[in-house]
């Protein structure tokens, strides 16, 4: 107590005293080597210096890889896969992963220091988030290694082989764990490349892996810049590619891997909306906003970088937010009190500066935290922009720094529209007291993770990953595991080459035949030109005899058909009058001709192109003209599918099941008609095969029954509660991807088509499918069944014509979310996959021959499901965004 009259001040300064962690704990060495084939080796690239972004001083030299080193690492991984890893039991694999999990935990403090020195993130985040979560990922996946057959992906999940993985600099060790742990648990071996600016923690992990006695070559770590990443993901010895980084590089990778048949997962950028309703607990919401954007300096793909505040509380929220942000301590990342550390590199700092300058230039109002900024090191003070409109770059582009853009909304619908108005779809946040609104918003967000009354929570049990251009595939949880497993059970043979099966084997009709079978108006009357075209095109290809034989057979049958049609003088008539028999025509009763049209939006329009092409039956006789769909028809079909998506995906699972079951019933009722139709057209051998026709019709009916029964099981089998750490309730639920464009197999014209359509629509997707080019009549007849069933118009849209002409428009269409390329020839598949990369579409492109007579697996369904993970605190919401209990 101060004595009366004393001059001693009663003012106490409550500033934090510095509390630096000791850099010595990191045991940083002068130089680090790569880890290949179980040994620490020098790469043949130049050494690079890794910089401490908090001081701009060099930390250590790191040896880097050359292209030849990439070859060596892939060879080591392949040898390890063949000789050891694929031969040991899951239980044994699991024990290695447990060892690594324990090793990380044992060296946690050292790893935290290394991470902070190399990356610039605050030590409290490395210590409390990155390192424990990395260990937890190994622990979680260790437990899967001997239980893969119980993961719900079918009875015999198999490893893919060698995984090539590229990770970024924002969570170096954690991203390594996210990638390596599931790969190893599933039985794969790994070659992984960290970012050039943050190689150290993964090289310490290499020591832990070596200490765990992991067989040599199971994990290989190569260092270097983007060119080494590119060499790795494009290496022909890689079976599976996993990438986390920018959307731009993700698109390049998807495009360069087009046609290779390699499984890819991409975890890319984001521009998440963090939505604050007027009934939200404002103080807690402010904590959530701060955590959402200033955690890890905003170097977080799922950062809540767009704040959407309900207009009535916007002023209050922004005022409280600024007051709170002003208290964040920016500075030495090694200080245990630091909230905002250093930007990882000078390059990233320049990016942040350039984007925030654009915010000024476009008229937004910048507010900068008054915190002191160190003279040395790469630092950027927490920044909040108001007066932001949706068109500004700071509202659209990923800044990847401590910069928040504030927008407002009036109604929940407006909030949804603004939140979803981005090419990205990684995460979202919702703050409100209303439970029903939370669940409604969670469902309306096109985002892979939705945090409600919390933000930036992660757990190995909870799937993480994006919608739209935020990438595809998941990491964590069961969904993440599936990315490293081959679970396609319906295929019978391996691809004969890396580029996939030959066109003839896959489709029964070659590219050459596909492209040479042109529209009737462009064909001369004799059909010779067509045959010449087919032969000429075929001669150019390097395909096998089988392909040529198939090509010529098709050309021959078409020529005969045209000759026959010419004889009766009807082929050039686009009305498609049937000519059942040349000798009886015009003497017997003329039947009512049937025009085979397209099926779009529940209606049967003619092709906008006004073109048709002739279809022959098994005897080679002209059967009918089929519509040749055009680009405009493709666009109409996509817009019909988009329109139908909301209703179909929003229908109850029971309802969808009833509708699909009803289609099966109706097909059963028209069994005889389909038997007749399939029996009369050319089968894969070109001869009438009634037994095969009966098998295909019956299996088609059964397939519809099978998938009707899936509608109300999908959520339970592929979703569920995630037992996350902490006071949260978290669940993952599958959602349909959206509009799927598909090419039906060019064989099994009914069964193949049904086998493609049914698994796609069962989960609520809508589809635009291009029917078998040579035998489209069963498809249009199926459309008649669909049109008279309870299926809403637009859920299934069927186009006939040349896939090579129509499919590129679908693959490039901005409103198509995914592609099923089952029926695409090898060359078309490559072209379409490349086009799909433009908007990061999900692609299902099997390179093996499907056998639709087999029991269908779940892979086709799962290929068109997104996994959405939702989090909510349990109990009252605390200031930290968690539970108050
Ligand atoms: P990149 O996508 O370039 O880097 C991510 C990883 O990919 C790094 O290991 C990088 O190597 C490697 N890489 C670069 N080019 C290729 C390529 N052609 N083929 C294969 N691998 C490649 O991200 P940046 O580091 O350049 O960051 C740029 C922006 O990307 C950031 O501002 C941010 O917006 C976003 N980003 C998003 C991340 C996310 O988690 N979603 C993570 C990181 C960045 P190296 O770094 O050695 O060149």
Alpha carbon distance 881, 217 (integer Å):
43
Q: Ligand 1 centre from 250 Cα, in Å?
A: 9
User: Which single residue is written with the structure tokens 């493709």?
Assistant: 634
Query: How would residue 8 be classed by pLDDT, with cut points 50, 70 and 90?
Result: low
Pocket test for ligand 1, best of 246, 353, 469 (most atoms within 8 A of CB): 246
Distance set, CA 170 to CA 105, 245, 376, 401 (Å):
20, 9, 20, 11
Residue nearest to atom 28 of ligand 1 (CA): 246
DSSP 8-state symbol, 491: B
Which entry of 115, 287, 301, 547 is annotated as an active-site residue?
Answer: 301
pLDDT of residue 880: 57
Q: Work out whether strand 219-221 and strand 189-193 pair parallel, antiparallel, or are unpaired.
A: parallel
pTM: predicted TM-score of the whole model, two decimal places: 0.86
- Among 479, 458, 331, 311, smallest CA distance to 386 is for 311
460-497: pLDDT as tens digits: 999 999 999 999 999 999 999 999 999 887 765 444 33
Q: Ligand 1 centre from 303 Cα, in Å?
A: 16
Q: Ligand 1 centre from 348 Cα, in Å?
A: 11
Cβ–ligand 1 distance for 301 under 6 Å, the answer yes
Average pLDDT, whole number, for the chain?
88
Q: Of residues 621 and 244, which shows the higher confidence score?
A: 244
Cβ–ligand 1 distance for 229 under 6 Å, the answer yes
Alpha carbon distance 448, 146 (integer Å):
28
Q: Of residues 542 and 814, which shows the higher confidence score?
A: 814
Which segment of 198-202, 361-365, 575-579, 841-845 scores lowest on mean pLDDT? 575-579
- Among 531, 504, 505, smallest CA distance to 518 is for 531
pLDDT at 553 over 70: no
316-327: pLDDT as tens digits: 999 999 999 999
For the chain, the farthest-separated pair of C-alpha atoms sits apart, in whole angstroms, at 129
Pocket test for ligand 1, best of 164, 165, 168 (most atoms within 8 A of CB): 168
pLDDT at 532 over 50: no
In three-state secondary structure terms, 844 is strand
pLDDT at 564 over 70: no
Q: Ligand 1 centre from 732 Cα, in Å?
A: 28
349 Cβ neighbours under 8 A, 6+ residues apart = 343, 378, 379, 380, 401
Counting Cα atoms < 13 Å in the Cβ hemisphere of 487 gives: 23
Alpha carbon distance 843, 614 (integer Å):
31
Cβ–ligand 1 distance for 195 under 6 Å, the answer yes
User: Which stretches within 282-345 are classed as H helix?
Assistant: 282-294, 314-325
What HEC string does 78-139 produce? HHHHHHHHCCCCHHHHHHHHHHHHHHHHHCHHHHHHHHHHHHCCCHHHHHHHHHHHHHHHHH
pLDDT of residue 589: 74
Residue nearest to atom 21 of ligand 1 (CA): 229
Residue nearest to atom 43 of ligand 1 (CA): 245
pLDDT of residue 503: 38
Alpha carbon distance 747, 479 (integer Å):
32
Cβ–ligand 1 distance for 225 under 6 Å, the answer yes
Alpha carbon distance 453, 275 (integer Å):
10
Q: Work out whether strand 728-736 and strand 865-873 pair parallel, antiparallel, or are unpaired.
A: antiparallel
Q: Ligand 1 centre from 771 Cα, in Å?
A: 40
Neighbours of 150 (CB within 10 A): 10
pLDDT at 217 over 50: yes
- Among 19, 869, 29, smallest CA distance to 454 is for 869
pLDDT at 557 over 70: no
Closest ligand 1 atom to 195 CA: 9
Cβ–ligand 1 distance for 547 under 6 Å, the answer no
Q: What tokens appear for 558 in the block?
A: 């078409």
User: Which single residue is written with the structure tokens 């910089």?
Assistant: 51
pLDDT of residue 620: 80
> Would you call 302 a catalytic residue per the annotation?
no
Residue nearest to atom 27 of ligand 1 (CA): 246
Q: Ligand 1 centre from 807 Cα, in Å?
A: 31
Which entry of 21, 196, 267, 735 is annotated as an active-site residue?
Answer: 267
25-63: pLDDT as tens digits: 999 999 999 999 999 999 999 999 999 999 999 999 999
Q: Ligand 1 centre from 249 Cα, in Å?
A: 7
pLDDT at 247 over 50: yes
Pocket test for ligand 1, best of 245, 422, 466 (most atoms within 8 A of CB): 245
Average pLDDT over residues 419-440: 97
Average pLDDT over residues 431-446: 96
Average pLDDT over residues 659-687: 83
% residues pLDDT > 90 (the chain): 78
pLDDT at 560 over 70: no
Q: Ligand 1 centre from 126 Cα, in Å?
A: 21
pLDDT of residue 849: 80
88-100: pLDDT as tens digits: 999 999 999 999 9
Neighbours of 537 (CB within 10 A): 18
pLDDT at 450 over 50: yes
Query: How would residue 848 be classed by pLDDT, with cut points 50, 70 and 90?
Result: confident
> Would you call 371 a catalytic residue per the annotation?
no
E strand map for 679-780: 720-722, 728-736, 739-743, 766-770
Q: What tokens appear for 253 in the block?
A: 């990778």
In three-state secondary structure terms, 451 is strand
Q: At what angle do helices 653-669 and 690-708 cross, to 10 degrees?
A: 160
737 Cβ neighbours under 8 A, 6+ residues apart = 467, 765, 817, 818, 842, 864, 865, 866
pLDDT at 289 over 50: yes
Residue nearest to atom 26 of ligand 1 (CA): 246
Asked whether the beta carbons of 237 and 67 are under 8 A apart, the reply is: no
Cβ–ligand 1 distance for 190 under 6 Å, the answer no
719-766: pLDDT as tens digits: 999 999 989 999 999 999 999 999 999 878 999 999 999 999 999 999
Q: Ligand 1 centre from 178 Cα, in Å?
A: 16
Q: What is the CA radius of gyration of the chain?
A: 30
Cβ–ligand 1 distance for 820 under 6 Å, the answer no
Alpha carbon distance 267, 41 (integer Å):
30
Counting Cα atoms < 13 Å in the Cβ hemisphere of 1 gives: 2
DSSP 8-state symbol, 364: P
pLDDT at 549 over 80: no
119-148: pLDDT as tens digits: 999 999 999 999 999 999 999 999 999 999
DSSP string, 15-52: PPPP-BPPGGGG---SEE-EEETTEEE--SS--EEEEE
Closest ligand 1 atom to 348 CA: 32
């Amino acid at each position: 107590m101060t004595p009366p009259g004393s001059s001693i001040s009663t003012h106490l300064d409550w500033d934090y005293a510095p509390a630096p962690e000791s850099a010595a704990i990191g045991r940083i060495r002068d130089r680090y080597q790569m880890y290949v084939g179980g040994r620490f080796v020098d790469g043949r690239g130049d050494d690079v210096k890794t910089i401490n972004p908090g001081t701009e001083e060099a930390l250590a030299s790191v040896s880097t890889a050359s292209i030849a080193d990439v070859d060596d690492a892939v060879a080591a991984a392949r040898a390890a896969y063949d000789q050891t890893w694929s031969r040991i039991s899951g239980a044994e694999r699991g024990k290695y992963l447990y060892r690594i999990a324990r090793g990380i935990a044992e060296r946690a403090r050292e790893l935290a220091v290394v991470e902070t020195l190399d990356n610039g993130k605050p030590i409290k985040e490395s210590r409390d988030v990155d390192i424990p979560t990395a260990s937890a990922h190994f622990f979680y996946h260790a437990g899967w290694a001997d239980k893969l057959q119980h993961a719900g992906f079918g009875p015999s999940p198999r490893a893919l082989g060698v995984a090539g993985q590229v990770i970024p600099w924002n969570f170096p060790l954690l991203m390594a764990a996210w990638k390596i742990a599931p790969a190893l648990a599933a039985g794969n071996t790994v070659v992984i490349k960290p970012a050039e600016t943050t190689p150290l923690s993964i090289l310490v992990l290499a020591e832990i892996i070596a200490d765990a006695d992991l067989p040599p070559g199971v994990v290989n770590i190569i260092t270097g810049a983007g060119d080494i990443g590119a060499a790795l993901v494009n290496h022909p010895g890689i079976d599976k590619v996993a990438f986390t980084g920018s959307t731009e590089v993700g698109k390049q990778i998807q495009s360069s891997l087009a046609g290779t048949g390699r499984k890819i997962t991409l975890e890319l950028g984001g521009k998440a909306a963090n939505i604050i309703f007027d009934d939200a607990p404002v103080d807690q919401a402010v904590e959530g906003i701060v955590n959402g954007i200033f955690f890890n300096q905003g170097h977080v793909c799922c950062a809540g970088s767009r704040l959407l505040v309900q207009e009535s509380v916007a002023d209050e929220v922004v005022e409280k937010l600024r007051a709170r942000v002003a208290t964040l301590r920016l500075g030495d990342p090694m200080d245990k009190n630091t909230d905002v550390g250093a930007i990882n590199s000078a390059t990233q700092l320049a990016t942040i500066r350039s984007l925030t300058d654009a915010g000024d230039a476009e008229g937004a109002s910048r507010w900068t935290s008054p915190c002191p900024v160190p003279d040395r090191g790469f630092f950027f003070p927490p920044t909040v922009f108001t007066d932001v409109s949706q068109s500004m770059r700071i509202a659209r582009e990923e800044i990847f720094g401590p910069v928040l853009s504030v927008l407002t909304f009036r109604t929940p619908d407006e909030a949804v529209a603004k939140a979803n108005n981005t090419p990205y779809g990684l995460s979202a946040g919702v703050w409100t007291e209303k439970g029903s609104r939370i669940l409604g918003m969670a469902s309306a967000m096109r985002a892979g993770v939705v945090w409600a009354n919390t933000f930036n929570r992660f757990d190995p049990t909870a799937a993480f990953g994006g919608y739209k251009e935020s990438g595809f595939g998941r990491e964590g949880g069961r969904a993440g595991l599936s990315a490293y497993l081959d679970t396609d059970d319906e295929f019978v043979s391996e691809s004969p080459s890396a580029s996939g099966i030959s066109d003839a084997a896959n489709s029964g009709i070659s590219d050459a035949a596909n492209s040479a079978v042109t529209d009737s108006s462009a064909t001369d009357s004799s059909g010779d030109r067509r045959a010449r075209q087919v032969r000429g095109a075929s001669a150019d290809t390097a395909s096998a005899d089988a392909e040529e034989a198939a090509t010529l057979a098709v050309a021959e049958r078409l020529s005969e058909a045209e000759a026959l049609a010419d004889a009766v003088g009807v082929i050039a008539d686009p009305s498609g009058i049937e000519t059942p028999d040349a000798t009886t025509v015009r003497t017997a009763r003329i039947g009512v001709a049937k025009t085979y049209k397209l099926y779009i939006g529940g209606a049967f329009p003619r092709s906008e192109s006004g073109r048709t092409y002739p279809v022959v039956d098994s005897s080679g006789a002209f059967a009918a003209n089929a519509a040749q769909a055009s680009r405009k028809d493709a666009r109409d079909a996509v817009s019909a599918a988009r329109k139908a998506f909301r209703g179909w995906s929003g229908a109850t699972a029971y309802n969808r099941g009833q509708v699909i079951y009803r289609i099966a019933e109706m097909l059963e009722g028209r069994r005889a008609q389909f038997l007749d139709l399939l029996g009369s057209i050319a089968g894969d051998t070109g001869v009438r095969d009634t037994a095969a026709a009966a098998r295909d019709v019956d299996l088609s009916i059964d397939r519809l029954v099978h998938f009707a029964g899936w509608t109300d099981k999908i959520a339970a089998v592929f979703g569920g509660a995630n037992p996350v750490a902490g006071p949260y309730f978290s669940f993952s639920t599958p959602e349909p991807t959206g509009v799927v464009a598909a090419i039906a197999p060019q064989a099994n014209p009914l069964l193949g088509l049904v086998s493609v359509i049914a698994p796609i629509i069962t989960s609520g997707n809508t589809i635009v499918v291009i029917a078998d080019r040579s035998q489209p009549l069963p498809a249009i007849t199926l459309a008649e069944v669909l049109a008279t069933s309870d299926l809403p118009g637009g859920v299934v849209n069927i186009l006939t014509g040349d896939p090579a002409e129509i499919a590129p428009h679908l693959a490039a269409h901005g409103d198509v979310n995914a592609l099923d390329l089952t029926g695409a020839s090898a060359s078309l598949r490559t072209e379409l996959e490349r086009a799909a990369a433009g908007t990061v579409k999900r692609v299902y492109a099997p390179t093996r021959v499907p056998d639709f007579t087999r029991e269908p697996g779940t892979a086709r369904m799962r290929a068109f499901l997104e996994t959405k993970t939702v989090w909510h605190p349990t109990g009252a919401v605390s200031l930290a965004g968690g539970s108050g209990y």
